[in-house]
Chains A and B, each alone.
Chain A
């Protein structure tokens, strides 16, 4: 019973619905990943 209550409270979180901007942190990370790929390609082309 106590465990259920604790899990419910953990799921509920802080009650803000979502932390500012945390939802799209994954989008930022993917964006960075694509940018890093471009940098790598450009540097490789420069070497060639």
Chain B
């Protein structure tokens, strides 16, 4: 959307929801994020109510049916906020005034780039404490169940009776076969292992679905907010732990959990914060599948260049990152992971 549309619409929306006439200033669209538009704004109230530093998030294209995690992003953040997860405070879910799904939340200042967390000199303290903070927030996410969160009933989940992982495995396997221009023997070995080791889990909880560096806002003191909830679904809590250990998400950090945390300490802190009992075999399953998943995504990104949909040198070069995931898959298949 353009600013001439957002400015008056948001002014009216905030006035209506807050119950006070508002003025919207500093409305700026942030760069990045092809799948969502994110705008920052400041709302001031001439009657003297406290100003709001806010975020306005919306789908970019009118009429496109949004995925459940996007439609429900406000409710996801609200449920997480109420469960004690470190997230930006949700303000108001949108209505139909813009013709696209939108919502507002409070703005949390901070950094999100994974490489800065690993290498930034000013984040030494954050690197020491954030693994535990991530374990605590993840434990709280996983306390959210279907029964307790009727607003989230529309999120996707596993097929009844099937492995909690089967639908996702089939989804990424199909993407791989569709998009890959080259044979990948390592992926084939991994897929055979994955199909032979599908986890069976009875209890399903809210899974963030993309819990990794890049989706955490942080400052010098550590975690400030878990963001990007659009891949949330019902499933196995071990999925988020395995994904957090995927090598490519360590951004060169030497420790296995997000590049900054040790496995056993993370598991201990997760369990102590009310998380589920950590099943190391299931974590390994999800970590191995996570490496395959990211590998398939790199192939898909490069395919967008190869089929002419994008001319980006960045997307083209991501095709050469597939090899990293193949290398790590071999390590995990041979029991040489860290």
B is a partner of A? no
A-binding residues in B (CB < 8 A): none
Which A residues are closer than 8 A to B by beta carbons? none
